[in-house]
């Protein structure tokens, strides 16, 4: 999406300047690109009368590949290699689609164990989640080691040894600190530690991955990765064992497709980041497509679920037996309710009026 210089002046356009100053392919320009292109995908799927995942699943491989920019990643994945992956994915595709429609895509919950929750709240939320059939849980860590040990022991005792536990540090630690801290939490058998250090530190993630491998702990990251190039390098450096795409951080469906295909080549499971701000609604389409047409595997794979703010969307996610059920409505599930938009519109919406009035007082 590169513009030419201003006509008649030879000076760079404002777009080119913006690309250099706050890009390229990262920051606000990239996020804006993702928003616009995700909207285009939503319209395309609605035009075809299909949910987005089905639009992608039914698409001819060559047509799908025409949506991907392979620039900067051909040293890892060429278009022909991607075509071979999609061709192999044709085998058993109908059976996997039927499996998704019947059982859905496995999810994990992040809603039980945020930092700052009291022990009583943790117990209550874990008890409710277990009753609802959840078997995969993520706990936030990194503020205080002794508190983490206590909270992780509480949760592990509640969910039992057979259920899956993950940990998320949200970029808290330096590299040596991450290794030392997680060595102390290894007794609770976490499947992964998520974002242990700066999301830009590829070699740091590689060092942590190497150090924690003997403890059976993988490294997961990706929700803050700017673009496909960062993911390429994380894969090349063996810096992650679980890859976490985000439907809005990357440059829309197009760029996520390239990352799904790279992950398949490296045989790294994709476990998407999601949240209760519409990210669950979006990313379910990508991961369902990944299973049906690309990875063909559910081993060590799950999609994050946060039970928050879904009431603002016209087509909220449907969770049954701790799994995402494939959306059936046409589009990308992005459409928000008119009343929610009106209420939160700046500066005249009801929510903003209250906030601004409170600030004046």
Helix residue spans in 132-251 (DSSP H): 145-159, 175-185, 202-212, 228-236
Per-residue pLDDT of the chain (361 residues; tens, 9 = 90+): 333 344 444 445 665 666 667 778 998 889 999 999 999 999 999 999 999 999 999 999 999 999 999 999 999 999 999 999 999 999 999 999 999 999 999 999 999 988 889 999 999 999 999 999 999 999 999 999 999 999 999 999 999 999 999 999 999 999 999 999 999 999 999 999 999 999 999 999 999 999 999 999 999 999 999 999 999 999 999 999 999 999 999 999 999 999 999 999 999 999 999 988 899 999 999 999 999 999 999 999 999 999 999 999 999 999 999 999 999 999 999 999 999 999 999 999 999 999 999 998 7
Instruction: Output the pTM of the full model.
Output: 0.93
Neighbours of 201 (CB within 10 A): 17
- How many Å apart are CA 216 and CA 209, to the nearest integer? 10
**Mode of pairing for the β-strands spanning 218-221 and 242-243:** parallel
Cβ–Cβ under 8 Å, residues 212 and 192: no
Q: Catalytic one among 54, 140, 205, 232?
A: 140
- In 3D space, the residue among 113, 96, 118 whose CA is nearest the CA of residue 105 turns out to be 96
Q: Catalytic one among 205, 273, 285, 310?
A: 273
Tokens of 158: 């509640």
- How many Å apart are CA 223 and CA 283, to the nearest integer? 12
Count, residues in the chain:
361
- Whole-angstrom CA distances from 268 to 190, 214, 225, 235, 241 are 18, 18, 16, 8, 6
What are the backbone angles phi and psi of residue 143, rounded to the nearest 5°? Answer: -85, -45
Q: Is 285 a catalytic residue?
A: no
List CB contacts of 294: < 8 A, sequence separation 6 or more.
Answer: 85, 86, 89, 260, 261, 264
What are the backbone angles phi and psi of residue 306, rounded to the nearest 5°? Answer: -125, 125
Q: Is 312 a catalytic residue?
A: no
């Amino acid at each position: 999406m590169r513009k030419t210089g201003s006509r008649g002046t030879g000076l760079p356009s404002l777009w080119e300047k913006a690309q250099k100053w706050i890009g390229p392919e990262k920051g606000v320009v990239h996020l804006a690109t993702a928003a616009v292109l995700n909207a285009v995908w939503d319209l395309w799927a609605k035009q075809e009368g299909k949910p987005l995942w089905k639009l992608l699943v039914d698409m001819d491989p060559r047509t799908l590949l025409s949506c991907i920019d392979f620039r900067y990643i051909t040293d890892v994945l060429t278009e022909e290699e991607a075509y071979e992956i999609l061709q192999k994915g044709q085998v058993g595709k109908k059976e996997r689609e039927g499996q998704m429609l019947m059982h859905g895509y496995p999810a994990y919950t992040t809603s039980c164990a945020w930092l700052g929750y009291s022990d009583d709240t943790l117990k209550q939320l874990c008890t409710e989640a277990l009753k609802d059939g959840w078997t995969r849980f993520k706990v936030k860590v990194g503020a205080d080691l002794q508190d983490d040990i206590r909270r992780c022991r509480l949760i592990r005792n509640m969910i039992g040894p057979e259920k899956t536990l993950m940990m998320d540090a949200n970029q808290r630690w330096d590299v040596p600190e991450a290794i030392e801290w997680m060595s102390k939490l290894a007794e609770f058998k976490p499947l992964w530690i998520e974002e242990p250090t700066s999301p830009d530190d590829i070699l740091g993630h590689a060092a942590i991955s190497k150090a924690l491998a003997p403890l059976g702990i993988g490294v997961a990251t990706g929700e803050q990765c700017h673009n496909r190039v960062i993911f390429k390098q994380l894969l090349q450096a063996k810096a992650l064992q679980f890859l976490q795409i985000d439907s809005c951080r990357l440059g829309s469906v197009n760029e996520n497709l390239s990352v799904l295909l790279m992950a398949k080549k490296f045989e790294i499971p994709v476990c998407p980041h999601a949240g209760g701000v519409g990210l669950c609604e979006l990313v379910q389409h990508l991961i369902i497509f990944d299973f049906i047409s690309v990875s063909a595997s559910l081993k060590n794979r799950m999609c994050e679920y946060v039970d928050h703010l879904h009431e603002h969307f016209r087509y909220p996610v449907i969770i049954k037996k701790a799994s995402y059920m494939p959306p059936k409505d046409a589009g990308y599930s992005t459409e928000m309710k008119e009343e929610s938009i009106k209420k939160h519109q700046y500066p005249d919406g009801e929510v903003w009026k209250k906030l601004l009035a409170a600030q004046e007082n």
